[in-house]
Homo-oligomer: A and B are copies of this chain.
């Protein structure tokens, strides 16, 4: 399923540039010098966002200012809120990622610094998008449910406010922390497809909002961010098919292998054999299930059984998408919002990369090998 080092299609295994933001290898995921398990255990998402966007661990004062600024930036212009509600009414089946792509594009028109690619303006634009994306997600989800939008709550941090805007319920401490940890885990992953998209767009001297719209589009695919939705859809399939007792999980998996069905939530190009994030989020998901939603534990049991079979039969480890899918499911988050929530986190990594690209730019313009028809003449 995953390529060998000598198979370079899709730029697999090809190092295409430098970054000071993130390091991913077979054993570690590091954000600007801090290992992901350390951050998940000891930092908040706001601290990680500051680290990624500004470049160092914030002091207490820096963090207070940064967090306060984010809270003050959460409201979105009325015309963008209206547009999201209108789209939910006119195109209720539009994927939330497509709607978020539109919302961010609209926010660009109204951002007075839209065309300023300088570092100060780009940091401010990054913070505005970081603050506004949960608002956009919340308005869309509520509109789909026929409910009025909820104002962001200044008393809540980024993760808790995101849950509040989506559900209209103040999350408990565990729910808020589980979401916070998931946002930390998802914030950055070096030159993944969406980040590389952002950098390629920025490399033409285009603006940050243009880059982020591209990143949202890339993250949407089920080989990337969309995998957490796809992984959960797969688990729902297995649960439904096996619940009646007509088929065992083992038999379901063997049939999927025989049919060469693509199973989501397993393997990763980088790292190949071990996704540090999967275990961290599984622990938090289990904690949430045990303390807040015992009934949801059966999803983790199913996930563990499926993981075990994949490892035994295919030697492929689960990735973070599977843990994330189960955890968000246990928390009652609508499946189509999983990838938009990923955006609410990865916006930090994307924006950090856009700033890094603009600080030392060279257009990303590779070559192709032509394998088409030989030269001929039009009238001939």
Q: Which of B43, B213, B372 contacts A21 (CB 8 A)?
A: B372
A372 in contact with B23 given A205-B223, A218-B206, A226-B204 (CB within 8 Å) = yes
Q: What does the 1/0 interface line of A1-30 toward B look like (CB < 8 Å)?
A: 001000001111111111111110000101
Q: Which of B10, B13, B18, B365 contacts A191 (CB 8 A)?
A: B365
Q: Which of A8-60 contact B (CB under 8 A)?
A: 9-23, 28, 30, 32-35, 38-39, 42-43, 57
- Majority secondary structure, A binding face: mixed
Contact A15 B373 (CB under 8 A): no
What number of copies of this chain does the assembly contain? 2
Given A11-B366, A206-B218, 5 more pairs with CB closer than 8 A: A193-B204, A197-B197, A203-B223, A206-B226, A210-B221
Q: Could you tell me the distance in whole angstroms from the C-beta of A91 to the nearest C-beta in chain B?
A: 4
Q: How far is the CA of A9 from the CA of B364 in the complex (A)?
A: 8
A97, A211, A366, A376: which has the most chain B beta carbons within 10 Å? A366
Let me know if B223 and A193 touch, CB within 8 A.
no
Q: Are B366 and A30 in contact (CB under 8 A)?
A: no
Whether A83 sits at the interface, judged by CB under 8 Å, is: yes
> Which of B83, B201, B209, B366 is within 8 Å of A14, CB to CB?
B366
How far apart are A53's CB and chain B's nearest CB, in angstroms? 14
Give A184-227 as 1s and 0s: 1 = Cβ < 8 Å from B's Cβ atoms.
00000011111011001111111101110110111111111110
Give 16 pairs: A residue, B residue, CB < 8 Å, sorted on A: A14-B367, A18-B368, A19-B371, A21-B372, A22-B370, A23-B370, A32-B372, A34-B378, A83-B83, A90-B109, A98-B207, A193-B365, A194-B204, A203-B223, A207-B217, A221-B363
* B90 A99 Cβ-Cβ under 8 A: no
A218 lies within 8 A of B214 (CB): yes
Expressed in whole angstroms, the minimum distance between the Cβ of A374 and any Cβ of chain B is 6
Q: Is there a chain B Cβ closer than 8 Å to A155's Cβ?
A: no
In contact, B217 and A203 (Cβ under 8 angstroms): no
Collect the chain B residues with CB atoms within 8 Å of residue A13's CB. Answer: 367
Binary contact readout A315-330 vs B (1 if CB under 8 angstroms, 0 otherwise):
0000000000000000
Answer yes or no: A265 CB below 8 A from chain B CBs.
no
Q: Roughly how many angstroms separate A377 CA and B36 CA in the complex, as a whole number? A: 10
A210 engages B220 (CB within 8 Å): yes
Residues of chain B contacted by A158 (CB below 8 angstroms)? none
Q: Is the CB of A211 within 8 A of B204?
A: no
- Which of B109, B190, B193, B203 is in CB contact (< 8 Å) with A10? B203
A56–B146 CA distance with the chains assembled, in angstroms:
49
- CB of A41, distance to nearest CB on chain B (Å): 8
Q: Chain B residue with minimal CB distance to A14?
A: B366
Q: How far is the CA of A250 from the CA of B38 in the complex (A)?
A: 61
Roughly how many angstroms separate A374 CA and B192 CA in the complex, as a whole number? 21
